[in-house]
Structure 1
Amino acid sequence: MTDVQNDALIRDQNNFNKPTRFSAEEWQARVKLAGTYRVFAYMGWDEGIYNHISLRIPGTEYFLINPFGLHYSEVTASNLVKVDINGTLMGHSDWPINPAGFTFHGAIHAQVADGHCVMHVHTTPTLAVCCLEDGLSYSNFYSAQLYGKVAWHDFEGITVHADEGNRILASAGDKPVLMLKNHGPVIIGHTLAQAFSLMWLVNRACECQLATLSMGKPQSIAEDVLKRCVADSLNFDPRFGAGEDALAAFIRLVEKQDPSFKY
């Protein structure tokens, strides 16, 4: 094999060429979502084989979600599962989806016009704050950016019952962050990157709140300052990508460690 042929082979391997069964738009969504699952694993936001990120395939009524049984570090573009709004498998998959995975995700995708990405985690700091009687405290840099954007839903047990999906949706209202009491946060984003940025804010806000509570009483922030923080937050501003640059940076980071998510 010549050097030119070898270089071409390496380029092909690094490009992880799109399988013919996927459209260009679907494959792009698959690669980006698989990369985000790897970012969650890197951040320690994974929960074994549980929890979910669901994403609408652009221009369709179909969604991608993680295969049930695989750790986030094993998710790849090609093994993500494609489902319809009811969680019914579209095409072939070697893996099922978690029954709890699409109960409220599907309800949100079906009824929130721009709710194209839904994330749910059980990280220790976010779940701990969900268990606090007073909930999230708007007393730090991160939570200040979430003021007026958080709703709450009472704990009903494991989310495997379809009727709870509508109640979760009703609790969320027009808020992009829904804290499930005693359970964990749900993020509703226009895009994968915006949802990631919101999840970043929620996690950091909860981490800082727990650290503050371990030392004493949090200082309050004036409401007018909180409102300015929300207005000035780049995480919500489409002019600055609403998190696209931040997510891209993290995906580059995990790609350097293991690019297999692009398969």
Structure 2
Amino acid sequence: MSQPNITLYTMQTPNGIKISIALEELGLPYKVEKIDISKNTQKEEWFLKINPNGRIPALTDTFSDGKDIRLFESGSILEYLAEQYDTDYKISFPKGTREYYEMKSWLYFQNAGLGPMQGQANHFYRYAPERIEYGVNRYINESRRLYGVLDKHLSESKSGYLVGDHVSIADIAHWGWVAAAGWAGIDIEEFPHVKAWEELMAQREGTEKGRHVPTPHTIKELLKNKAAAEKEAAGTRSWVQDSMSADAKKA
């Protein structure tokens, strides 16, 4: 593998900070380009050449053949970083081991389950133009169910991490979402083992550095101020609706 030539295209979101935390844990050099999704930068033609789906995070690097590689989807990027750069298994496990496959299971649990469900809870709880009780309850309750699955699993963990005896990309994938649980109307106090795991992760230098990319990670402070949280949600609600309208017209 050639020397890293990584550029991370990101914004301060639970999915975005997955990648910066992983990069910090690995100690890899990388450049950052902030993508302002409120201005639809992610829909611009240059960015769509990197991620045709028009979402963050995305990442570019120089591949082993000397040519650029363009990556998107946070889970895919995490796997790429682990497979290409984690030769000491700081945030992964050797391919073919029990822990390797268990790590993948929890990574996909987050990418296909907890993340999408909590994302929908965010939408109906914070951003929908009107409160639709069915949508709010459906997605908050399903997110809470998934937190329960996570809590039970962590209650049986000897290391405190999701898999094996150390942190992995499975933990990194979850952390930003769990840290923002309150934004989706989920009370983390209901899940003591998840809360303890979140605090364990927060103590890591990689988490502390990576969570503030490309801008400060302030969700905990925001949740303590109801007026500020509503003001933030109102501002986001406006461009979310505009973006949805624009996408509908294109479709």
Q: TM-score range by the shorter chain?
A: under 0.3
The two structures have a TM-score, normalised by structure 1, of 0.26
The structure richer in helix per residue is 2
Larger RCO, structure (CA 8 Å, separation 6 or more): 2
